[in-house]
Structure 1
Amino acid sequence: MKMGVDYYPEHWEQTMWEQDAKLMRETGVSLVRVAEFAWSRLEPEEGGYDFSWLDEAIDVFDRQGIKVVIGTPTCTPPNWLVNRFSDVIPVDAVLHPRYPGIRGHRCYNSPSMRLFSERIVEKLAMHYSNHPAVISWQIDNEFSLNECHCESCNQQFRRWLSDKYGSLDAINEAWGTVVWSGEYSSWDQITTPLGGTAYKNPSYLLDYKRFETDSVVEFQQLQGNILRQYCPGHFVTHNIWSYPMSLDYYKLCKRLDFASLDYYPNTSPEKAVSSGYSGALTLDLTRGIKRSPFWIMETISGPPGCWFPMWRTPQPGFIRAYAWQCIARGADTLVHFRWRSAPFGAEQFWHGLIDHSNVPGRRFEEYRMLCDEVNRLSPVLAGSEVLGEAAVLHSHDLYNAFAIQPQAEGMDYFDNLKLYHRALTKSGILTDVVNTTDDLDRYRLIIAPSLYLLDENLADKLKNCVKNGAILILTNRTGVKNLNNVCWIHPLPGQLAEAAGVTVTEYDPVGNDVHTIRMTDGKTHTCSQWCDILEPAGAETIAWYENDFFAGKPAVTVHAWGEGKVYYIGTVAEESFYLDLFGKAADEAGLTRFTGLPEGVQISIRRKGTARYLFVLNLTRKKQTVKLGGAYLSLLREESVGPAIDLDPYAVEIVKLVEDDVFCIK
């Protein structure tokens, strides 16, 4: 495990480099990321490369024993490039060019952008392939979908469609273009979605989103191929941005060595608790991208702010606690953004570990403590991994499909994913978040939120899991469409109706109207967004609607099928419902569960051989107490702790368990 910082030598006088590197080493920093925004310094004019300043900076770090990640600078095309080659600039849906602002001003399909990107990356790769300090490359920075509509994108979109469908007849059939006289009779009639209107064929729009992801993947792979050729011993990664994101990160990261994440938990007092749960989902999603440990390439060092008002400054312990949250959920390296606050540019007030005063203060000392802890525990935790026992399914296609056609007022795919994951986290259920295409055989509890796009392959995979003893939880809007975003002509939940033992006879998109469901034990919960009116076909009803014209009708069912069970939830209920249901389902599945966690306290386990390392984190501004089922060895304090642990605001505890420990927070 390594502790690192983002550092921009081109921003500072050269006399500061040695001082900074020496202080980094003394603080416990062993890694820096450099150069991802430095194209204009690396190539001041076309074909005129100058790496001398970066050579000197990397040599400074090398002398201090600090390793280097170089970011390819393709996120920031220099002015000479965009002025000379207009095709570099992306074009919006009404064909207006989007001129340089901060960064990211490039079309991924631009021939000029691709050519000059390959050239600068090749020069860098050749130059630094044998430097002993350089160990890794970050391709570009925080890819997103530019939604470009230039001529290059139009040509590439037609090529992409031709490769996928083979003919115009196949496209017309797959998209159902007969509606509104939208059938294509020649390839040049197909363009990217021009005009900016939402009233377009949803199948076409979803394919355009997929094309955009593939364009980014192609642009990334041009660079990745060069780096693999010249630097075969180096790691290659990319720093994704926090969820939600319509770019398909599973495709983007497939050929990378590991995923990296830029993670900025919110410091606002009103989000002091919710930010920790949202962050847990983002971290679990990132770990699930490649089903393996990941890096944090940027994280909070002070109050962010620039083109928006500054956030509150991190409270004492905040930086340390959220760093340990990252490690607890699978991060193997932490890089904080940034070493020192920038005196100029758009991110002047996106604060670093050292403020503009250039005097290390409270936050820096907290970071120094964190470095000491991580470096001390690295030999113990290195090689350990996080393995969830429950799985939440996630899909960028589903996110995009719901964004293209919102189903009800207030109904949001990712917000509901947060709701389900938060309930699992609060219930102390160890959870993985994985792609719908992943193997699920090892999970005994699978939550599958709104499988709006459903094909036989996914349905069969889930049914096999249930037949073999898993508990599957389905929710409303399952089985609505095929993967082309075309509605199935059959009762919902479609291919999963038999396993669920229920069909949807009617539905009501209730939106923000609040309804009530009643459980078999008489307990009630509020619900909103959507109400599926269910007809059991072998399933047992466990909740009924209390009001509206469907009062008394089933809202939630459970069906024993094969060796397992399928729950079907026809609405979106308040959190307390999921706390009860997920806890019950986890117990039925025989999962490890840590009951009685205080609000805002999270747990996670990293495993290494027969040893287990339990992380207990208080991600709140108030003191909390948890009770362990015995006494354990604290890795941080090197002393016995328990059966009760008092956790100060943003306190962290890590205890070592052994395989036969029976552990429970009560």
Structure 2
Amino acid sequence: MSSPRWLRRTGAPRLEYGADYNPEQWPREVWDDDVRAMREAGVTIVSLGIFSWARLEPADGEFDFGWLDEAMDLLHANGILVDLATATASPPPWLTAAHPEVLPIDQQGRTVWPGGRQHWRPTSKIFRRYALRLVRELGTHYANHPALAAWHVNNELGCHNLYDFSDDAAVAFRDWLRSRYATLDALNHAWGTAFWSQHYTAWEQILPPRLAATHPNPTQQLDFKRFSSDVLKDHLIAERELLRELTPEVPVTTNFMVVGETKGMNYADWAAEVDFVANDHYTHPGPRSRDELSFAANRVGNLAGGAPWFLMEHSTSAVNWQPVNVPKRPGELARDSLTHVAHGADAVCFFQWRQSRAGAEKYHSAMLPHAGTGSALFRAVVSLGERLRDLAFVAGTHRTRARAAIVFDWESWWAAEQDSHPTDRLRYQQEALDWYSAFLDLGVRVDVVPASAPLAEYAFVAAPILHVVPAALAERLTSYVHNGGHLVTTYFSGIVDENDHVWLGGYPGALRELLGLRIEEFAPLLDDESAALDNGTTGTLWTDRIDLTSPATEVLASYKTGEMAGRPAVTRHPAGAGSAGYVSTRLGPAGIAAVLGEFLDRAAVRSELPPDLRGRVELTVRDGIRFLLNRTDAPVDLTSLGADVPVLAARAVAAIRA
């Protein structure tokens, strides 16, 4: 992402605004109403054709672009750009009827049948052939259309077909393993196949981790997760390369899903494969909903390398796929959208434009709801369009780097939550979010970055549950600390290498010497157990029996009850010009904030907000433009900033020019 490309268009910089548009769901006479309402709302771009394969190719090799031509022309005539999808997300019935072998197979050997979407195998050569034929037809037909601003590869790759256990997947998995390990001896070593008599003597013996009598080989599971992310990325690249051949001037993207517990796609690895990063995000009700939204937007902004990115989907109000689908409160539509802008989004789009009358998502909110243009929701949509026009000066600006970072590592997420571990209650994303919330509570800006990021640019780095630490990463972290950086990590970090092999000699393995401590045995907690610390905080989920191995290691907090009484709970070890800290239990946001402040002080990282605003307001910065996000449900007085924004309304965001 060294030089990301943006939408192909002319005119002054602006924040794009729009939605997925599905005109094929509606009679032609509705389309004119749609574009009139789009212009009223300030829509500048739509994603088109996402699930239209069956309409574009109604029979094998018979293409019908007439309706799409008309839609493209109508949008262009009304000044609306098109992010044109390749329509390969959902194969049509004629294809799966003729070639049922493209359908995925689940872990128990059951076929995933048509009737939903994304019912295709990423490793199917037959599917790839049909998909690329469609892409070639689209790319050739629309190469010079004036509305075409970007290509949208597939849709939410891996959302419903991430893990396929078919024979196609088995063949492709073996090829992937040959590339990774070269020899069976190397694979047998990496997988530890001496355990349970799993030694392989031929590549053909190797299978995906299908339903087994007990827990499948853990490294086999981890490699299958890596493989599954890679083959989806390979499909992205295949479509992208064809589009670049046909339309080299048109940028190509696909919509990531950096949201909640969606973890199967390693987007840190994918980000370099798109011309600009795009993301879909949906909020989940609860006390941490706002923090999770900010956390996701922060991650996307840093996956984009600080460059502008595209919010491809979020919701105007209720969704349809949660157990209870509550509508957004007044003001939340704008607050949620502008939070993404604050973290670098230069486009704000929704699923979808017009709320469907039929189908599985007919109760999912849209920009134009069932109630029509005379609704409060549509008025809120129009108001947001006006707000985005007022913020045009933000377009093209980059995220301003913070002085602190949180490392977010997909492979640690995958490995730390596998079976046969000290506890199955551990949740990697939740711990990372706890640390993020603690930074927000202290009013300290922080970047959420991949483990591959250049950490030397940060004065302080938190790496919660950094479970997978290859030797090269351990060396990078040691160098970071010795050169003056301040690192803090947590329980279950540094435990295994890239093959999921335990670093021997005591925990936390690869980080043991850097942290100046040693742990002989984990001590996870039962659901009804907790551990009190002498600094007034309380730990849950996990504890460690820590022995200090360096006289320089400071104890910042100790356990004060039970068998752990008197043992260190939170430590800091000076090393070189920096320090490495350790938190041995889950403290939650409030408990983390209680110890984080001291770590930040040592690193000379401080809040840029006045004391009265810390915790109540989140601060983000784009090229000197400050965004203030209200984290409360009450108005916040901003006069202590000395800015011309005396009150920040509840559920509101303010942008202040430098």
Question: TM-score range, shorter-chain basis?
Answer: over 0.9
CA distance in 1, matches of 2:514, 2:560: 26
Contact 2:89/2:154, CA 8 A, preserved across alignment: yes
CA deviations on 1:222-248 (whole Å, 9 max, x unpaired) are 101011111111121111222421221
Q: Choose from 474, 489, 493 the match for 2:508.
A: 493
AA at the equivalent of 1:650: R
1:410/1:511 contact within 8 Å kept = no
Checking the alignment, whether the CA contact within 8 Å between 2:442 and 2:614 is kept in structure 1 is: no
- Equivalent of residue 129 in structure 1, options 143, 156, 159: 143
Give the stretch that moved more between structures: 4-13 or 578-587.
578-587
Equivalent residue, structure 2, for 1:636: none
Task: Structure 2: state its 5+ residue gaps.
Answer: 1-14
How far 1:507 sits from its partner (Å)?
A: 2.5
- 8 Å Cα contact 1:556-1:570 kept in structure 2: yes
Counterpart for residue 535 of structure 1:
547
Q: Which residue of 2 aligns with 1:201?
A: 217
Q: Does the 8 Å contact 1:168/1:186 carry over to 2?
A: yes
2:233 is equivalent to residue 217 of structure 1: yes
Please list the CA deviations of residues 577-625 of structure 1 after superposition, one character each: whole Å capped at 9, or x if unmatched.
21122223223322341365779744232232xxx222222254x3132
Taking the TM superposition and a 5 Å limit, the aligned residue runs for 1:120-519 are 120-144=134-158, 145-195=161-211, 199-241=215-257, 242-244=259-261, 245-266=263-284, 268=285, 271=286, 273-292=287-306, 293-305=308-320, 308-309=322-323, 311-405=325-419, 406-519=421-534
Cα 1:139–1:197 change in 2 (3 A) is farther
Structure 1 distance, partners of 2:142, 2:316, is: 29
CA contact (8 A) 1:428 1:597 kept: no
**Structure 1, residues 216-274: CA drift from partner, whole Å, max 9, x if none?**
111111101011111111121111222421221122332101221111223x4xx2x41
Residue identity opposite 2:239 in structure 1: Q
Could you tell me how far apart the structure 1 residues matched to 2:280 and 2:617 are? Answer: 21
1:409/1:529 contact within 8 Å kept: no
Partner SS state of residue 61, structure 2: coil
Equivalenced residues, count = 635
> 2:485, 2:577 within 8 Å by CA — same for their partners in 1?
yes
Partner of 1:662: none
C-alpha distance 439-374 of structure 1, shift in aligned 2 (>3 A): same
Q: Secondary structure at the match of 1:60?
A: helix
Alpha-carbon separation, structure 1, partners of 2:115 and 2:24:
20
Paired amino acid for 1:262 = D
**Is contact 1:557-1:569 (8 Å) kept?**
yes
C-alpha offsets along residues 280-308 of structure 1, whole Å, 9 cap, x if unaligned?
A: 11111212223233211011112111x55
User: What SS class does the counterpart of residue 5 from structure 1 fall into?
Assistant: strand
The reply on whether 1:525 has 2:537 as its aligned counterpart is yes
1:173-219, Cα deviation, whole Å (9 max, x unpaired) = 11110101010111111111122565111011100111111111111
Matched residues in 2 for 1:127 and 1:597: separation?
58
1:576 paired with 2:576, answer no
Aligned: 1:641 with 2:652: no
Question: For residue 636 of structure 2, what is the aligned residue in structure 1?
Answer: 625
Question: Larger deviation: 32-41 or 498-507?
Answer: 498-507
TM-score, normalising length from structure 2? 0.93
SS in 1 for 2:171: helix
Task: Find the counterpart in structure 1 of residue 626 from structure 2.
Answer: 614
CA distance in 2, matches of 1:53, 1:493: 61
Q: 2:577 maps to which residue?
A: 563
| Residue identity matched to 2:544 | D
| 1:35-54 → structure 2 map (5 Å cutoff) | 35-54=49-68
The SS at the match of 1:571 is coil
AA aligned to 2:207 is T
1:427–1:595 Cα contact (<8 Å) kept: no
Contact in 1 for aligned 2:297/2:340 (Cα 8 Å): yes
Contact 1:75 1:140 in 2 (8 A): yes
Note the aligned Cα RMSD (angstroms). 1.9
Taking a change above 3 Å as real, the CA distance of residues 486 and 97 of structure 1, as seen in their structure-2 partners, is same
Gaps of 5+ in 1: 633-639, 658-666
1:572 partner SS: coil
Q: Which residue of 2 aligns with 1:656?
A: 657
SS at match of 1:567: strand
CA distance in 1, matches of 2:243, 2:205: 38
Give 3-state SS (helix, strand or coil) of 2:240's partner.
helix
The separation in 2 between residues aligned to 1:529 and 1:57, in whole angstroms, is 55
Question: Residues 389 and 445 of structure 1 are in contact (CA less than 8 Å); yes or no, is this contact kept in structure 2?
Answer: yes
Contact 1:340 1:354 in 2 (8 A): yes
1:447, distance to aligned residue in structure 2 (A): 0.3
Counting aligned pairs with the same residue, the percent is: 29
Distance 2:521 2:208 in 1: 36
* Aligned-residue offset at 1:390: 1.1
Distance in 1 (CA, whole Å) between partners of 2:44 and 2:179 is 46
Corresponding residue of 2:81: 67
Q: Return the alpha-carbon distance in structure 2 between the equivalents of residues 566 and 628 of structure 1.
A: 38
| AA matched with 1:629 | S
Give the secondary-structure state (helix, strand or coil) at the position aligned to 1:606. Answer: strand
- CA deviations on 1:604-650 (whole Å, 9 max, x unpaired) are 32232xxx222222254x31324453421xxxxxxx234xx3x3331
- Measured against aligned partners, the alpha-carbon deviations of 1:422-480 in whole angstroms (never above 9, x if no partner) come to 11122221111111122111001100112211122111111111122211001111221
Q: Which amino acid is the alignment partner of residue 452 of structure 2?
A: T
Deviation at 1:309, TM superposition (A): 5.0
Letter of the 1:428 partner, please give it.
G
- Matched residues in 2 for 1:54 and 1:410: separation? 49
* Alpha-carbon separation, structure 2, partners of 1:387 and 1:12: 45
2:640 aligned counterpart, secondary structure: coil
Q: Kindly provide the CA deviation profile for residues 16-48 of structure 1, in whole angstroms up to 9, marking residues without a partner as x.
A: 222321321232111011101000000000100
- The whole-number CA distance in structure 1 between the counterparts of 2:108 and 2:99 is 21
Query: Which structure has more strand as a fraction of its residues?
Result: 1
Cα distance, 1:381 vs. partner?
4.4
CA contact (8 A) 1:518 1:524 kept: yes
Compared CA separation, residues 315 and 198, structure 1 to 2 (3 A): farther
SS at match of 1:373: helix
